[in-house]
Structure 1
Amino acid sequence: MRAGERITIKAAVIDAYQAASSPHSIRALKSDLEAFDLWCRSSQRISLPASAETVAEYLDARAGRGSKPASVGRYKASIAKIHQILGLVDPTTDILVKLRLSAIRRRMGTAQSQARPLRFKGPVRDVERDAPRGLNVRTLLESCGDDLPGLRDRALLSVAYDTGLRASELVAVDFAHILEAIDPEARLLSIPRSKGDQEGEGATAYLSPRSVRAIAAWQDAAGIASGSIFRRVQVRRYKARAAVKGRQIDSISSREKWDLRKTLPKAAVAARVEYDIGQKSLHPGSIGPIYRAIICRAFDAGALPDLTKDDLERLLKGVSAHSTRVGLNQDLFTSGEDLAGIMDALRWKSPRMPLAYNRNLAAEHGAAGRLLAKIG
């Protein structure tokens, strides 16, 4: 702080901000401000109130350490937010900060890396008629096992693709959110709150009969009656233990078992697997790793024959919790849905992201792409 200046923290404003913000937004703000304060301390700068020069130098430093322009923009917004909350002059409105941020964007470009799409049949032209190929949701669903983790993963992936939910929205799905639909085999999913709907206006998504069956199978096997649908499944595997050291259980005859029972301290134990199902929902950060684990198991089982190991390693780097949302977005585009329909299905408030997700497909399916595909 500058000498002689005092910052008055108004508890009512802090409480109002927390009530109006999602837990994710609060965590992000806290993380950004801690990083800014640490940098200011290490460079002997004042973080609150910050000068325009300090903010500009900080943004430059973060960009120099590899932060993407989108992240740098978020750091600027967080610094602005804390100054607004505390009733301080916002240094980010200064022309110096704006010009420095523009220079960073010009130097580094503003294109963001996109999550690898998980499309239902993979990279195909006709979603309805073409056979699945490459990395595709249908094959991944078929390759999920019938044990508890496999049933949970099948239901999770199926619902994620059907609805295009973000990770935080997906883990919040509750059995109470499932509603009746006109199709007796399908269901509707009530979405009380989402990233673009912080005020809780609510939305509804469609659950296919495939997802309904997958949820029912998981629910029945897990014995869950209510609450969160997607939960942690802890697996405990116990190896077989022979009564006689060095010998397999099935090599000991019935007569030997009878004789040894009197002298051995421990009886033979068969191999077994036990499952522990959590009471709370999965963490949003676990969705991406679950998708990647499903893909690896499918590949190891030979279910993705047109992918090499190098292909797998390359694809896995781009797979995240957002991959199903991007995949559904692209499948809707290739199916001929217009932008308004895609925005409605995926609950977009702005056309910017759905257009960005479909940029590569638009080039392939556009006028030039159609012509060049015909003439070779």
Structure 2
Amino acid sequence: MTTDRPFPSSVELVLGGHAMLVDTRAASPLALEAAVAAMAPATKAAITADLKCFLAWCKARRPVATAVPAEPETLVHYLHWLAKGSDIRAGAKPATLARRIASIARIHRILGFGGREPLPTQAGMVRDTLKGIRRKKRERQRQAAPLRLGEAMQEGQAPPEGVTVNALLASCGSDIIGLRDAALISLAYDAGLRVSELVGATVVDLSQFGDGSGRLEITHSKTDQLGEGALAWLSADTMVRLSAWLLASGIAHGPVFRRINVLTSPPDAAGQRLVRHYIGSKPLTRQGVVAILRRRVLEAVDLGLVELEPGMEGDTVRGLSAHSFRVGLTQDLFAAGEDGAGIALALRWSSPTTALRYARELAVGNNAAARVLGRLRGGGSQTPA
């Protein structure tokens, strides 16, 4: 789209590759460049993928004069195509459909179609189609299973069952891999980190205080795209685990959590193999964090640290993600009696409503109905475990 930069963005490349379907007469190259530069990396990747999908569908469909600006009827057909799926493609979930439409709307605005006329994505038939698909599927967006600490948050509570942070920590040995995994698990829970914040943590972001506790400076996050920064409190236990990992790995600067390459020599005359560990220089990826988490869950089960119903190991592992630490800490803080506003502030949620959504099952046991009717009809309200 622009001619003064040698490396156009992924969004510009997709638009340029489908120039016949995109009306750019009202577009300002400078506005497009500025809009793309303002996007967070994850947002840019999502919009690129969504735009590529829509334009490819329009190209394969006849007749479609232009994809942008789109006709509401075109968007309705596109939504039905996404939701239906095929033999090789599963039908998209309502949350995915909403995101695809939001990306299309944003591209329309960037290209100058957000003036006086309403966007095609705002047409009644498009909104009604989304509502109809959502009602038909009746599917609540899947929430990552929580990873709670594993201890009662208040007197009289029973500790949570299943996979817990304490069980995962107990599965970590004293070797270099165990030290890294324990530090990662402990930090992720204490600070309620998003996976991008976890893999983005560097040594210089860590500081320790006289009482043994520490702080993690979070320079960028999902809700802080301008980089104003935030501080997260870390327990003394987490600081001990971080210190052990950094000392053993020799990491003095750069990313805190990295891949560990394991090299094994051929067996010697006695059949022994020499195992060497090499610490990488680049940070762990999102996929790497999930792989570590799932491996630790299975090891905790094998060691008898976690009791699951027979055959539930696979479902349990699949239900966990890097976001599970954040969900688990949110639920633990609710169980301890903290309010939504305080939790949202501590975990950098965009609003207390978001925090409450992640603790819905715990909060319902202590809501107004539970407190009042519990006194009158028995089963009095208790702070949920």
1:295 aligns to what SS in structure 2? helix
137, 148, 159: which one aligns with 1:119: 148
1:289 aligns to what SS in structure 2? helix
1:156 aligns with 2:221: no
1:77 aligns with 2:106: no
Equivalent-residue separation in structure 2 for 1:320 and 1:127 (angstroms): 30
For structure 2, the residue ranges without an aligned partner over 5 or more in a row are 1-18, 86-90
1:227 aligns with 2:228: no
Please list, as runs of the form range in 1=range in 2, the aligned pairs for 1:203-222 lying within 5 A after superposition.
203-222=230-249
- State the 1:373 CA deviation: 4.2
- State the 1:107 CA deviation: 2.4
Equivalent-residue separation in structure 1 for 2:211 and 2:21 (angstroms): 70
Contact 2:21 2:67 in 1 (8 A): no
- State the 1:307 CA deviation: 2.2
One-letter amino acid matched to 2:185: L
168, 172, 176: which one aligns with 2:204: 176
* CA deviation string 1:191-247 (max 9, x = no partner): 1111011112221110111110111111011100111101111222334243xxxxx
- State the 1:143 CA deviation: 1.4
Equivalent-residue separation in structure 1 for 2:289 and 2:120 (angstroms): 38
193, 200, 217: which one aligns with 1:165: 193
* CA deviation string 1:44-68 (max 9, x = no partner): 3342232111112112221223222
Query: Which of 48-57 and 81-90 deviates more?
Result: 81-90
1:310 aligns to what SS in structure 2? coil
76, 80, 101: which one aligns with 1:56: 76
Aligned length: 347
Cα distance change, pair 4–25 in 1 and its aligned pair in 2 (3 A): closer
Equivalent-residue separation in structure 2 for 1:318 and 1:131 (angstroms): 20
Query: Which of 107-116 and 23-32 deviates more?
Result: 107-116
- State the 1:40 CA deviation: 1.4
274, 284, 289: which one aligns with 2:276: 274
2:112 aligns to what SS in structure 1? coil
Cα distance change, pair 80–342 in 1 and its aligned pair in 2 (3 A): same
Equivalent-residue separation in structure 2 for 1:289 and 1:69 (angstroms): 27
One-letter amino acid matched to 2:324: S
Equivalent-residue separation in structure 1 for 2:338 and 2:149 (angstroms): 16
1:307 aligns to what SS in structure 2? coil
1:190 aligns to what SS in structure 2? strand
1:136 aligns with 2:164: yes
Equivalent-residue separation in structure 2 for 1:301 and 1:132 (angstroms): 19
2:275 aligns to what SS in structure 1? strand
Task: Give the match for residue 198 of structure 1.
Answer: 225
Task: Give the match for residue 343 of structure 2.
Answer: 342
Larger Rg: 1
Contact 1:116 1:319 in 2 (8 A): yes
1:204 aligns to what SS in structure 2? strand
Structure with greater contact order relative to length (CA < 8 Å, sep ≥ 6): 1
Contact 2:23 2:68 in 1 (8 A): no
- State the 1:23 CA deviation: 1.1
Equivalent-residue separation in structure 2 for 1:324 and 1:335 (angstroms): 16
Give TM-score scaled by structure 1 length: 0.85
One-letter amino acid matched to 2:111: L
- State the 1:323 CA deviation: 0.3
1:26 aligns with 2:44: yes
* CA deviation string 1:284-304 (max 9, x = no partner): 232222211111111122222
For structure 1, the residue ranges without an aligned partner over 5 or more in a row are 243-248, 250-268
Equivalent-residue separation in structure 2 for 1:132 and 1:52 (angstroms): 49
Task: Give the match for residue 36 of structure 1.
Answer: 54
Query: Which of 152-161 and 141-150 deviates more?
Result: 141-150
131, 146, 157: which one aligns with 2:174: 146
* CA deviation string 1:260-308 (max 9, x = no partner): xxxxxxxxx731111121111111232222211111111122222x224
Task: Give the match for residue 257 of structure 1.
Answer: none
Contact 1:192 1:202 in 2 (8 A): yes
Contact 2:148 2:160 in 1 (8 A): no
Contact 2:23 2:69 in 1 (8 A): no
2:319 aligns to what SS in structure 1? coil
